[in-house]
Amino acid sequence: PMDESVKWLNLSRSEMAEKLKQCGFSVSVTVVDQLLDKHNFRRRQAFKVEAGKKNLPHRDEQFKNIE
């Protein structure tokens, strides 16, 4: 992240509400949203880049010649 003051988390707001409920704090997703905004938290989506998904028309050519 470019902004050092922003804190990142990977849980959705509903997942956060559920985790808090498991710890004994019953809060709505709206309250979680307000608290995260107040304390400068942002959602950061983890994503996976799959290798080999590029448009390479001759990618499999070498394997077709193996006998």
Residue 11 gets which letter from DSSP?
S
What is the model's pLDDT at position 21?
93
Tell me which residue of 29, 37, 35 sits closest to 13, measured CA to CA: 29
In contact, 8 and 42? CB cutoff 8 Å: yes
Please provide the size of the chain in residues.
Answer: 67
Q: Is 7 helix (H, G, I), strand (E, B) or coil?
A: strand
* C-alpha to C-alpha distance for 65 and 67, rounded to whole angstroms: 6
pLDDT for residue 28: 93
**How far, rounded to the nearest angstrom, does the alpha carbon of residue 42 sit from its chain's CA centroid?**
11
Per-domain boundaries in the chain: 1-44
Query: What is the average per-residue pLDDT within 30-55?
Result: 75
pLDDT (tens digit per residue) in 18-36: 989 999 999 999 998 898 8
Of residues 22 and 59, the one with the higher pLDDT is 22
Q: How much is the pLDDT for 5? A: 67
